[in-house]
Amino acid sequence: MNTKTKTKRPGQKTGGRIPTKRSTAGASIIKGLEQAIAWTRGENDKVRVTLVHVPEVDVREVRTKMGLSQAQFATKFGFPPATLRNWEQGRARPDAPTRVLLAVIAKHPDAIEDVLRKG
């Protein structure tokens, strides 16, 4: 009876397959956060950063130039009337994506109306 035992040497392949370490979503997020922290400290200047200027928009001015009441403007462009009032009275401020939308409404209201009509 032949009783040979196989021992695995360090670095030796197992079963013909090399185990690979897969990146998980969590690991990717952590890596991104570490890069962001390094960038804010000035440690990593090879990071691509895109800065976008988001315009400030006077909502009341846009609305009055269009000749619309608060209720009409809110209904036409899908804003809650109370939110529109809060913006105009300075109790709240539109977030960045909403300011972009308001800037487009100010310059090209027909385009927004067209999109909303087809939607």
Range list of β-strands (E), 8-72: none
The predicted-structure confidence for 65-101, as pLDDT tens digits, reads as follows: 999 999 999 999 999 999 999 999 999 999 999 999 9
User: Is 18 inside any structural domain?
Assistant: no
**Residue 37's pLDDT band (cuts 50, 70, 90):** confident
Stated pTM of the model: 0.58
6: amino acid identity, one letter: K
**What SS3 state is found at 52?**
coil
Domain that holds residue 96: 59-118
Task: Give the pLDDT mean for 23-33.
Answer: 87
If one counts the domains in the chain, the total is: 2
- Same domain, yes or no: 78 and 97: yes
- Same domain, yes or no: 94 and 113: yes
Compute CA distances 80 → 11, 23, 28, 54, 69, whole Å. 64, 43, 38, 22, 13
- Same domain, yes or no: 37 and 84: no
34's tokens: 């570490």
